[in-house]
């Protein structure tokens, strides 16, 4: 079977030589950053640190390095109670397909009225890749109820900068449910909204509207392929973390395409999760603790297949100061032919990222024989 032949190859390769994915290079010493690379207000309790830290350097805009201390897994909480409270538009049928273009700013009266906006404050900000930031919001000092894969609209009532695009954006929630603070991540392309958020003092008042969307995991255990273009990894990080923490019986394969490692959000953390899953499977450690999550995270399914396989691919390695020895192909039919299972239409495929990536990846899936009903996609406009 194609999956037996190829996917374990990736997972074993990651387990044995995760560090070797990066070419050895002499990295220039860090210089004084123009602004702190990680900022945080005093936490309400003990939130997990963000996984990847990036310092500006003298010769290259950023240097990504793994911070294993900070890569500790997040809290293993029983989140069933939170999931019970999600909005009624969430988690519709497992074959629901997101529309090709969904407004990134709320224009729908239904959306305006369906949920109360929640007061929030900017609690943490961290540069996690080139021009890419993670933000944690404190929403009333308690976990925000949603399903992994859903979005929120973030509103800046008093942004430092303004333009015609307005003060509201849609972001996928990047954390598994149940955390004290809400995590989103975005690329700063210079819009007034993004510049305002990047420069806002910690503690700045914001509004959160949501959760929205049905780009969520199926309710039945499934073989799920997640295809992410760059920042499109945000909903998938949430799904993978959720699956780990609640020991869900999905098998997730995340194919994450970036131009360079420096531009890849959450790269080290996702590599680590893939390594853990492969190692746990090879040592025969299987699912424990049922779906409650109370017994802690598990990274192997009851069947013994890794719960999570991560396939990062860097398509413009020549531009990288750090280098890359792993996969380099674009998400195209030849790569998919190597990774997808023989019984391809028994799996479910999720695609997220910039419009061009989504269109290309959906086209590639169809080319290798995936039926439209098996594909869900979410396009991020503005990239």
Q: Which helix (H) or strand (E) holds 196?
A: helix 192-199
> In whole angstroms, how close is the CB of 301 to ligand FAD at the nearest point?
27
Outline where 18-177 has alpha helix (H). Answer: 80-83, 109-114
Q: Is 363 helix (H, G, I), strand (E, B) or coil?
A: helix
Give the Cα separation of 76 and 79 in Å (integer). 9
> In whole angstroms, how close is the CB of 358 to ligand FAD at the nearest point?
11
Which residue has the closest beta carbon to ligand FAD?
Answer: 382
Nearer to ligand FAD, 22 or 266 (CB): 266
| Cα radius of gyration rounded to whole Å, the chain | 20
Nearer to ligand FAD, 10 or 380 (CB): 380
Nearer to ligand FAD, 197 or 297 (CB): 197
> In whole angstroms, how close is the CB of 216 to ligand FAD at the nearest point?
12
Of the candidates 242, 351, 365, 218, the one whose C-alpha atom is nearest the C-alpha of residue 307 is: 242
Residue with tokens 């008042």: 205
Token pair belonging to 378: 């979410």
Phi, psi of 13, rounded to the nearest 5 degrees? -60, -40
CB 336 within 8 A of CB 313: no
Token pair belonging to 345: 């239409």
Q: How far apart are the first and last CA of the chain?
A: 37
> In whole angstroms, how close is the CB of 233 to ligand FAD at the nearest point?
9
> In whole angstroms, how close is the CB of 269 to ligand FAD at the nearest point?
16
Nearer to ligand FAD, 13 or 231 (CB): 231
> In whole angstroms, how close is the CB of 161 to ligand FAD at the nearest point?
11
Question: Chain centroid to CA 363: how far?
Answer: 22
Nearer to ligand FAD, 296 or 381 (CB): 381
Q: Which helix (H) or strand (E) holds 119?
A: strand 118-129
The beta strands (E) that lie in 216-368 are given as 223-229, 251-258, 308-314, 348-354
> In whole angstroms, how close is the CB of 231 to ligand FAD at the nearest point?
5
Nearer to ligand FAD, 348 or 352 (CB): 352
> In whole angstroms, how close is the CB of 45 to ligand FAD at the nearest point?
25
Nearer to ligand FAD, 185 or 314 (CB): 185
In Å, how far are 141, 240, 303, 309 from 281, measured between CA atoms? 37, 16, 10, 11
Of the candidates 190, 332, 321, the one whose C-alpha atom is nearest the C-alpha of residue 257 is: 332
Nearer to ligand FAD, 231 or 321 (CB): 231
Query: What does the binding site for ligand FAD look like in residue numbers (CB under 6 A)?
Result: 101-104, 151, 165, 169-172, 184-187, 189, 191, 193-194, 213, 231, 234, 378, 380-382
């Amino acid at each position: 079977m194609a999956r037996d032949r190829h996917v374990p190859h990736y997972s074993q390769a990651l387990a044995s030589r995760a560090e070797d994915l990066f070419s050895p290079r002499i990295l220039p010493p860090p210089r004084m950053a123009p602004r702190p690379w990680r900022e945080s207000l005093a936490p309400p309790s003990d939130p997990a640190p963000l996984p990847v830290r990036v310092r500006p350097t003298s010769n290259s805009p950023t240097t990504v390095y793994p911070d294993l201390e900070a890569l500790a897994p997040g809290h293993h909480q029983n989140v069933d109670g939170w999931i019970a409270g999600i909005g009624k538009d969430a988690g519709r049928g497992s074959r629901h397909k997101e529309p090709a273009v969904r407004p990134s700013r709320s224009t729908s009266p239904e959306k305006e009225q369906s949920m109360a906006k929640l007061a929030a404050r900017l609690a943490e900000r961290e540069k996690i890749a080139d021009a890419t930031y993670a933000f944690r919001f404190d929403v009333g000092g308690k976990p925000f109820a949603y399903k992994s894969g859903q979005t929120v609209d973030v509103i800046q009532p008093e942004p430092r900068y303004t333009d015609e695009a307005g003060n509201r954006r849609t972001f996928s929630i990047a954390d598994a449910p149940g955390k004290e603070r809400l995590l989103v991540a975005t690329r700063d392309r210079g819009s007034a909204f993004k510049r305002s958020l990047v420069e806002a003092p910690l503690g700045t008042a914001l509004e959160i509207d949501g959760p929205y969307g049905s780009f969520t995991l199926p309710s039945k255990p499934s073989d799920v392929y997640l295809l992410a273009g760059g920042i499109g990894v945000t909903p998938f990080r949430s799904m993978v973390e959720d699956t780990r923490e609640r020991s869900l019986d999905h098998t997730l394969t995340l194919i994450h395409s970036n131009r360079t490692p420096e531009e890849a959000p959450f790269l080290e953390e996702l590599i680590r999760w893939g390594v853990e899953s492969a190692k746990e499977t090879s040592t025969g450690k299987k699912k424990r603790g049922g779906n409650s999550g109370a017994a802690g995270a598990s990274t192997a399914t009851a069947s013994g297949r890794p719960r999570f396989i991560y396939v990062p691919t860097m398509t413009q390695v020549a531009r990288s100061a750090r280098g890359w020895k792993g996969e380099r192909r674009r998400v195209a039919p030849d790569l998919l032919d190597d990774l997808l299972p023989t019984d391809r239409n028994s799996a479910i495929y999720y695609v997220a990222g910039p419009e061009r990536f989504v269109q290309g990846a959906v086209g590639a899936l169809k080319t290798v024989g995936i039926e439209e009903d098996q594909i869900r996609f979410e396009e991020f406009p503005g990239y």
